[in-house]
C-alpha cells in the first residue's frame, strides 16, 4: 500500500515538474517573439534558444523516466511506457534528419521544434495553448500601448511600396501587426470556437476590416476573414462529420506546396525571358524559353503577390530563394529572408526536411478527420494558406508557431489514443 502511494506521489511530482518546465519554456519563447516584434534587440537569442532546448530535453527525459517507473524490471515495457514504438521510430527518424540538417546548415530549429513536439506527450495542451494565447495577447497589447504613449516603437510608418502612412503600433511593420492579429484570431478559434456566438464573429470581422484599413495588409486581412467564415460554417453545420473537408484540406496543402515549387522554378522568368536566358546561361544551365501563356500567368500571379515571386530569384545576387538554391539538405548560406513561407522552408532546411514537415501536417489532417475535429481543420488550413505568401510560421521562433503544440497534441497524444482504439 505504501509503495503504491509512494509511486503515485513520484508520478504526480514528475507530472508537476514537466508542466512547470513546459510553461517556463513556452513563456521564454513567447517573450523572445514579443521582443523581436518590438523596437528592442536581443543580442543573445541563440543562447536563450539553447536554454529552451535543454528544458525540453529535460521534460522528455522525465517522461521517459516516468515510463520506466511505471514498469519496474521490464525494460521493453519501460521503453514503450511513455512513447510507444511508432512514436520512438518517428522521433528517431525525424531526429536523425534534423541532426543531418544541423550539420549541413548550422540551423538548429528542426531539432528544437522536434523537442517541443516530443515534450507535449501527456500534457494538457489546451491549457498550454491558453498560456500561448494570453501571453501573446498581453505582449502585443503592451507593445501597442507603449507605442501610443511614445515610449517604445513607432505608431505609423511610411510604406515603401504605396508611399502612404500605415499603422504599425509598435510592431515595426504593418504586415507584422496584422499577422499577430491573425495568429490571435486563429488561436481564439481553436480554443473557443464551440463557445463563440454570432456577435463574437461580427466583432472579429469589424476588427479585421479596421485593421486592414490601418495596415493595408490584404493577405493578413483576407486569411483572417477566411478563418472567421470557415469557423462559422463548421460551427453552424455538420460539415466536420464528413471526410471531404479534410481531404480537401490535404489536396489544398499539396497544391500550395506545388505552387511554391512552381514559383521557385519560374522566378527567374518573372522580369522577362531575355533576362532569364542571360541568367541561365551565366549559371551554366540550359536556357529554355517558356510558353507565352505561362509567362502571362506568371506575371499576373507575381503582380497579385506584390512581386514576391520576383524576389525569390532577383532579390539577392546569389539568387537564394529560387529552386536552383534548394538542396536535399540545406547548406550554410541561409541568411536570406523572404516572404513566401513554403519556399523558405525548402531553402532554409532542404527538400528532405521540408517534405517531412509537410508529411507531418498531412498526418495531423488525417488524425483530425478521424476525430472529426473541425477547429483543427479550420486553423491548420488557414495557417497553410497564409504560409504560401508569408513566412511568419517558418522562422527561428517556436513562440510564433502554436502549430507545434497542435502537432504535439495529435502526434504525441491523440495518435496513441487512435492506435489504442484500433487494438481495442
Q: What is the pLDDT of residues 120-177, one digit of tens each?
A: 999 999 999 999 999 999 999 999 999 999 999 899 987 766 667 899 999 989 999 9
Confidence of residue 1 (pLDDT cuts 50, 70, 90): very low
**Residue 130 CA to chain centroid, in angstroms?**
17
Say whether pLDDT at 314 is over 90: no
pLDDT in tens, 243-258: 999 999 999 999 999 9
Average pLDDT over residues 344-360: 95
Q: Which runs of E-coded beta strand occur in 44-167?
A: 156-158, 165-167
More confident residue, 424 or 156: 156
Q: What is the pLDDT of residue 271?
A: 73
- Whether residue 56 contacts residue 112, with contact meaning beta carbons closer than 8 Å, is answered with yes
Rounded Cα gap, residues 211 and 223, in angstroms = 13
Contact of 80 with 88, CB cutoff 8 Å: yes
40 in the Ramachandran plot: left (φ > 0), alpha (ψ -120 to 50) or beta?
Answer: beta
Burial pattern 240-277, b for ≥16 Cβ within 10 A else e, equals beeeebbeebbeebeebbeebbbbbbbbbbbbeeeebe
Residue 3 predicted with pLDDT over 60: no
Q: Which three cell numbers stand for residue 400?
A: 510564433
pLDDT of residue 40: 87
Query: What local confidence, expressed as pLDDT, does residue 39 receive?
Result: 83
| pLDDT score of 16 more than 90 | yes
11 pLDDT above the threshold of 50 = yes
Contacts of 393 by beta carbon, 8 Å cutoff, 6+ apart:
341, 383, 386, 387, 400, 401, 403
Q: Which residue has the higher pLDDT, 114 or 307?
A: 114
Confidence of residue 424 (pLDDT cuts 50, 70, 90): very low
| Average pLDDT of every residue of the chain | 89
3-state secondary structure of 106: coil
- Residue 165 phi, psi dihedral angles, 5° rounding: -80, 130
pLDDT at 422: 42
Q: What is the average pLDDT across 12-39?
A: 95
More confident residue, 155 or 2: 155
C-alpha cell at 342: 513554403
What is the reported pLDDT for 72? Answer: 77
CA distance 339 to 321: 10
Answer positive or negative: Cα dihedral of 28, 31, 33, 38: negative
Could you tell me the three cell numbers for 166? 500605415
Least confident of 39-53, 203-217, 226-240, 406-420: 406-420
Segment among 82-96, 287-301, 382-396, 398-412 with least mean pLDDT: 287-301
Does residue 14 register a pLDDT over 80? yes
pTM, to two decimals: 0.91
Q: Cell 518573372 appears where? A: 270
Amino acid at each position: 500500500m505504501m509503495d503504491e502511494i509512494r509511486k503515485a506521489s513520484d508520478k504526480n511530482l514528475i507530472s508537476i515538474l514537466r508542466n512547470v518546465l513546459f510553461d517556463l519554456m513556452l513563456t521564454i519563447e513567447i517573450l523572445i517573439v514579443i521582443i523581436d516584434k518590438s523596437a528592442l534587440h536581443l543580442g543573445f537569442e541563440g543562447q536563450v534558444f539553447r536554454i529552451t532546448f535543454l528544458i525540453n530535453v529535460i521534460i522528455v527525459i522525465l517522461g521517459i523516466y516516468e515510463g520506466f517507473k511505471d514498469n519496474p524490471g521490464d525494460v521493453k515495457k519501460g521503453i514503450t511506457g511513455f512513447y510507444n514504438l511508432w512514436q520512438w521510430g518517428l522521433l528517431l527518424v525525424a531526429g536523425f534528419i534534423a541532426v543531418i540538417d544541423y550539420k549541413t546548415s548550422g540551423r538548429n530549429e528542426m531539432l528544437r521544434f522536434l523537442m517541443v513536439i516530443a515534450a507535449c506527450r501527456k500534457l494538457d495542451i489546451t491549457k498550454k495553448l491558453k498560456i500561448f494565447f494570453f501571453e501573446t495577447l498581453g505582449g502585443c497589447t503592451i507593445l501597442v500601448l507603449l507605442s501610443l504613449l511614445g515610449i517604445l516603437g513607432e505608431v505609423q510608418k511610411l510604406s515603401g511600396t504605396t508611399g502612404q502612412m500605415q499603422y504599425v503600433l509598435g510592431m515595426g511593420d504593418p504586415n507584422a501587426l496584422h499577422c499577430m492579429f491573425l495568429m490571435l484570431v486563429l488561436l481564439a478559434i481553436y480554443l473557443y470556437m464551440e463557445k463563440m456566438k454570432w456577435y463574437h464573429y461580427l466583432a472579429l470581422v469589424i476588427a479585421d476590416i479596421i485593421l486592414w484599413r490601418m495596415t493595408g495588409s490584404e493577405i493578413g486581412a483576407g486569411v483572417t476573414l477566411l478563418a472567421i467564415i470557415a469557423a462559422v460554417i463548421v460551427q453552424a453545420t455538420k460539415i466536420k462529420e464528413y471526410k471531404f473537408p479534410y481531404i480537401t484540406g490535404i489536396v489544398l496543402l499539396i497544391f500550395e506546396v506545388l505552387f511554391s515549387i512552381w514559383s521557385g522554378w519560374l522566378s527567374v522568368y518573372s522580369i522577362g525571358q531575355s533576362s532569364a536566358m542571360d541568367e541561365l546561361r551565366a549559371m551554366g544551365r540550359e536556357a529554355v524559353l517558356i510558353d507565352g501563356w505561362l509567362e502571362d500567368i506568371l506575371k499576373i500571379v507575381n503582380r497579385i503577390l506584390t512581386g514576391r515571386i520576383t524576389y525569390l530569384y532577383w532579390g539577392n545576387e546569389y539568387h537564394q530563394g529560387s529552386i536552383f538554391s534548394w538542396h536535399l539538405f540545406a547548406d550554410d548560406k541561409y541568411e536570406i529572408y523572404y516572404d513566401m513561407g513554403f519556399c523558405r522552408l525548402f531553402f532554409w532546411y532542404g527538400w528532405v526536411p521540408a517534405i517531412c514537415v509537410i508529411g507531418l501536417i498531412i498526418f495531423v489532417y488525417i488524425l483530425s478527420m478521424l476525430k472529426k475535429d473541425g477547429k483543427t481543420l479550420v486553423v491548420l488550413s488557414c495557417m497553410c494558406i497564409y504560409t504560401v505568401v508569408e513566412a511568419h510560421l517558418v522562422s527561428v521562433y517556436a513562440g510564433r508557431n502554436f502549430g507545434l503544440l497542435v502537432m504535439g497534441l495529435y502526434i504525441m497524444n491523440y495518435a496513441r489514443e487512435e492506435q489504442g482504439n484500433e487494438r481495442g
